[in-house]
Amino acid sequence: MKLFYGLVVHSKSIDDLCFLPNTVIIVDKGKIVCIQANADVNKVQQEHNISSENVVILKENEFLMPGMIDTHIHAPQYINAGFGLELPLLGWLNKYTFPTETRFSDLKFANEVYTRVVANTLINGTTTAMYFATIHKDSALLLGDIAHQIGQRAFIGKVSMDQNSPEYYIEEKGSAIKDIEEFIVSLQSKNYPNIQPAVTPRFAITCSMNLMKTLSELASKYNVNIQTHVSENPAECEVAVSLHEGCRDYVDIYAQANLLTAKTILAHGVYLSDKELEVLHRYQTSISHCPNSNCSIRSGMCDVRRLMEKGLRVGLGTDVSGGFSSSILDAMRFAITVSNILSLSKSEDYKPLNFRDVFFMATLGGAQALGLDDKVGNFEIGKEFDALVVNLAPTDGNLEVWPDESMENRLSKWIHLGDDRSISRVYVNGVEVKEGAINTLRIKRL
Ligand code: GUN
Ligand code: FE
């Protein structure tokens, strides 16, 4: 058993951000067994018979928050983060992304890059990541091994694509199905407690209807999550619909492929029509909002308020390397900025996203979008303890707080100005992982 004591910040819903002072949280075998605000910590410690080496007392300038959730990140593209952003989506995929992903048939190379992406995202507070890997089964399995070893909660997607891709980076029709089924079975049989496979058709342009239909059958047979991209860029939308005859619009392609489920997350959704949003709502399919990527490869600006008003669950994604940063703090900031810009052309009663909204999206909202909110996303008895200790007075960086500042303002400052230096501890399922991730990076130099 471990006891945490201090200021706790979490969302109960998008409109209910809670600051709980002097709060005790007790964790047993990874799960939260007790939460008590305004508690007498010594009394609770004695009642539960917890020894002092298992007590974490937060400092004056620290608070405890749920771990952050990246609902869309391409692990192999981590090595491209920060360059190649001059082309829009389809040109960018051909010039930068497909050649880079091809290199992950090499397991030694994959091992080096995947170790770094898992460790670095953990250090930056991503306790759960929904990953795209590449088409290579063995290196996707390796990503699962690495996330398990370093201690991140993750969904691992072996990418499926069988058409309209370069001849050096495409799956044969037969092996595409065989490989994904073997991937799911192998990863599930490892019984890693925090790692799950995800069925991952890349997007409607590079997947035949036949492949997508079979993938949906496998997702249901093995009860796994599904992820893909939708309606990211105008040229992409046009090509996708022209390729799938008889489909009314982009969402209809996935509807006809039976890929829309309550365990499906679609990245982007910038150009979805009202009709498409209604269909997604009916299937309870969620959206990963990736604002850095949408700005960096100039895909467009997604109106998250509109998606939420239609009842969709929306999480945040970094979409590395369409997005140049693998930090969810960066995704929060970009989400606010995009929303502010959109608001300039809306009526006065339009409410742009604020720091409370994006804090929710980075935590409970992301968990809801991935169907994980029975396990993580905030602090409730019975949930698994994925958490960050945030230090609002790091010894360096731009984050500065003053003694008389309200907690609301401090949280807003952290969201706008914080980085990994202000994240002092990271826990996944009750296990502290930040120090281990840093050590891993020290050993593994590329
Ligand atoms: N659509 C299909 N593949 C990709 C990808 O790798 N990144 C992004 N941003 N969009 C995609
Ligand atoms: Fe993506």
Q: Give pLDDT, residue 446.
A: 52
Centre of ligand 1 to C-alpha 348, Å, is 34
| Closest protein CA for atom 9 of ligand 1 | 322
Q: What is the DSSP letter of 258?
A: T
Centre of ligand 2 to C-alpha 131, Å, is 9
Q: Give pLDDT, residue 173.
A: 86
Q: Give pLDDT, residue 443.
A: 82
Q: Give pLDDT, residue 445.
A: 63
Task: List Cβ<8 Å contacts ≥24 apart for 372-379.
Answer: 372/69, 372/128, 376/66, 376/67, 376/69, 376/127, 376/128, 376/153, 377/66, 377/69, 378/10, 378/11, 378/12, 378/66, 379/8, 379/10, 379/25, 379/32, 379/35, 379/66
The residues spanned by each domain of the chain are 2-66+379-439, 68-369
Cα–Cα dist 30/241, whole Å: 46
Atom of ligand 1 at shortest range from CA of 299: 9
Cβ of residue 74 lying under 6 Å from some atom of ligand 1: yes
Atom of ligand 1 at shortest range from CA of 319: 9
> Would you call 108 exposed, middle or buried from its count of C-beta atoms within 10 A (0-12, 13-18, 19+)?
exposed
- Which fold would CATH assign to domain 2-66+379-439? Urease, subunit C; domain 1 (2.30.40)
Ion ligand 2 contact residues with beta carbon within 5 A: 267, 319
Cβ of residue 92 lying under 6 Å from some atom of ligand 1: no
**Residue 297 contacts by C-beta under 8 Å, 6 or more apart in sequence?**
85, 87, 88, 89, 92, 233, 322
Three-state secondary-structure class, residue 190: coil
Ligand 1: which of 77, 134, 319, 320 to mutate, most ligand atoms within 8 Å of CB?
A: 319
Cβ of residue 202 lying under 6 Å from some atom of ligand 1: yes
**HEC letters along 194-250:** CEEEEEEECCCCCCCHHHHHHHHHHHHHHCCEEEEEECCCHHHHHHHHHHCCCCCCH
Q: Which helix (H) or strand (E) holds 17?
A: strand 16-28
Query: pLDDT 10s per residue in the chain (446 long)?
Result: 999 999 999 999 999 999 999 999 999 999 999 999 999 999 999 999 999 999 999 999 999 999 999 999 999 999 999 999 999 999 999 999 999 999 999 999 999 999 999 999 999 999 999 999 999 999 999 999 999 999 999 999 999 999 999 999 999 988 999 999 999 999 999 999 999 999 999 999 999 999 999 999 999 999 999 999 999 999 999 999 999 999 999 999 999 999 999 999 999 999 999 999 999 999 999 999 999 999 999 999 999 999 999 999 999 999 999 999 999 999 999 999 999 999 999 999 999 999 999 999 999 999 999 999 999 999 999 999 999 999 999 988 899 999 899 999 999 999 999 999 999 999 999 999 999 999 999 886 65
User: What CATH number has the domain spanning 68-369?
Assistant: 3.20.20.140
Atom of ligand 1 at shortest range from CA of 77: 6
